[in-house]
Amino acid sequence: MFIFDVDGYVTGFGNPDWARTHSAATSTAPAVLDVLRAGATCVGKTIMDEMAYCIYGENKHYGTPRNPCAPERVPGGSSSGSAVAVGAMLVDFSLGTDTGASVRLPASYCGILGFRPSHDTVSTVGVLPFAQSFDTVGWFARDPVILNLVGRVLLHLPDADPTRPTQIIIPEDCFCLSSVPSERTAQILVKSVEKLFGGQFVKHVILGDYVKDNVPSLQHFMDKENEGQEYDIPSLAALSSIMQLLQRYEFKSNHAEWVTKVNPDLGPGISGRVWKAIRTTQENIDICNSVRSELRAALTALLGDHGILAIPTAPGDPPKLQTDPATLARFRARAFNLLSIAGLSGFCQVSIPLGMHNNLPVSISLLAKHGSDAFLLSIVETLYDTLKGEIAMLRE
């Protein structure tokens, strides 16, 4: 990706004005070095959204990587090229970054596995920052064994025996956000879990109510920001607003000087988001950070040591290429209801492909508490074949 330093090459950040105004890197990012030293071969850098500030993968300067599952649909971003390279079987795995969505959504849209690790568990040294308290280095693969192997290299994990989950939590309100029928997502997971571990492990909750009741500082923000607005899950919409405000504030700290000096040529949508970030003030930053701490504590209490939270990765099908901005804005709002859960809590999350529905890729995500990355990787490997079997039965 254009976001990782590689010695001797300009780290272009998806934008030609950035590439033009920056020198070549003088060292290689440790995350890249880790996989190279473990035996990987670097075959190239991939296209990304400009300044990592989009979730669709359309880049007006360098072109839009073609979604191998649905060529008329966006590949997802910002790690668009990395996901497409894996989905198109050009490579076994690839690296990406995920601050708000940039590994999870492209994985979902391209029909592959995508892992966002717990925040601050994989080195982001030598990776251009977006918002450091959210930035993660993630990875894509088609095979859960390779996903696990790459994860163990990047996370510096020893080999360990798989651990059984203590519970699989299905938030019914989150699955209602998705336009994909739950029979193609949640029910496939539930049936697989019942076969492998037994039905006693499955628990149903209303996550929006749990968050509202257990994150007290959130009420202040909902009152301020969501009055008069209609959301499917108000508490999760508030989390989304908080996450995006914090990210704008950090993005401004990192890049305001360059943006105001260069006035870069930015694509539609991205330009507006960048300049909105540049105008962000410190208002509500402290209360937002309180919400973040309370949310992590509340979700940790909900999941326990070996609990899993299942949610849709995305609220529906990948948008069509060149969809009008108003439609994309509505889709983005719904998407961040789901994406902010791991983003704001710092939990690890994996997007797992579940085949095709109406000729478009379908996925589900599993989340585990912060620091449970090895556990989550092993769960994916354990579940994967059973999930595929359930999908195959639907076709019969």
| DSSP structural state of residue 49 | -
- What are the pLDDT digits (tens) for 220-258? 888 555 544 555 799 999 999 999 999 999 999 999 999
Q: Return the pLDDT at 227.
A: 47
The b-or-e profile of 7-24 (16+ CB within 10 A means b, else e) is: eeebbbbbbebbeeeeee
Place of tokens 């919409």: 237
Q: Return the pLDDT at 226.
A: 52
Cβ atoms of 372 and 352 closer than 8 Å: no
- What are the pLDDT digits (tens) for 79-121? 999 999 999 999 999 999 999 999 999 999 999 999 999 999 9
Q: Under 8 Å CB-to-CB from 341, ≥6 apart: which residues?
A: 207, 236, 239, 299, 309, 311, 347, 349, 367
Burial category of 227 from C-beta neighbours within 10 Å (exposed 0-12, middle 13-18, buried 19 and up): exposed
Quick one: CATH architecture of 16-394?
A: Alpha-Beta Complex (3.90)
Could you tell me where the beta strands, DSSP code E, fall in the chain? 93-97, 113-116, 137-141, 167-171, 202-205, 307-311, 348-357, 360-368
Helix axes 207-214, 234-262, angle to 10 degrees: 80
Share of the chain above pLDDT 90, in %: 91
Q: How far apart are CA 358 and CA 356, in angstroms?
A: 7
- What are the pLDDT digits (tens) for 272-295? 999 999 999 999 999 999 999 999
Distance of CA 266 to the CA centre of its chain: 23
Q: Encoding tokens for residue 170? A: 């299905």
- Look at residues 247, 252, 244, 257 and name the one whose alpha carbon lies nearest to residue 279: 252
Q: Averaged over 38-66, what is the pLDDT?
A: 97
Q: Averaged over 372-376, what is the pLDDT?
A: 97
- Other C-beta atoms lying within 10 Å of the C-beta of residue 101: 27
Q: Return the pLDDT at 326.
A: 87
Cβ atoms of 351 and 113 closer than 8 Å: yes
Domain regions of the chain by residue span: 16-394
Q: Return the pLDDT at 231.
A: 54
Predicted confidence (pLDDT) at residue 266 exceeds the cutoff of 90: yes
Share of the chain above pLDDT 70, in %: 97
| DSSP structural state of residue 72 | T
Q: Return the pLDDT at 1.
A: 73
Q: Averaged over 325-352, what is the pLDDT?
A: 95
Q: Can the peptide bond before residue 290 be classed as cis, meaning omega within 30 degrees of 0? A: no
Mean pLDDT score of the chain, rounded to an integer? Answer: 95
Q: Averaged over 338-363, what is the pLDDT?
A: 98
Radius of gyration over alpha carbons of the chain, in Å? Answer: 20
Place of tokens 């993005």: 251
Q: Under 8 Å CB-to-CB from 179, ≥6 apart: which residues?
A: 315, 316, 317
Q: Averaged over 355-382, what is the pLDDT?
A: 97
Q: How far apart are CA 95 and CA 120, in angstroms?
A: 16
Predicted confidence (pLDDT) at residue 51 exceeds the cutoff of 80: yes
Taking CA atoms, 11 is separated from 30, 51, 141, 157, in Å, by 15, 11, 23, 29
The b-or-e profile of 146-163 (16+ CB within 10 A means b, else e) is: bbbbbbbbbbeeeeeeee
Burial category of 48 from C-beta neighbours within 10 Å (exposed 0-12, middle 13-18, buried 19 and up): buried
| Residue 396's pLDDT band (cuts 50, 70, 90) | low
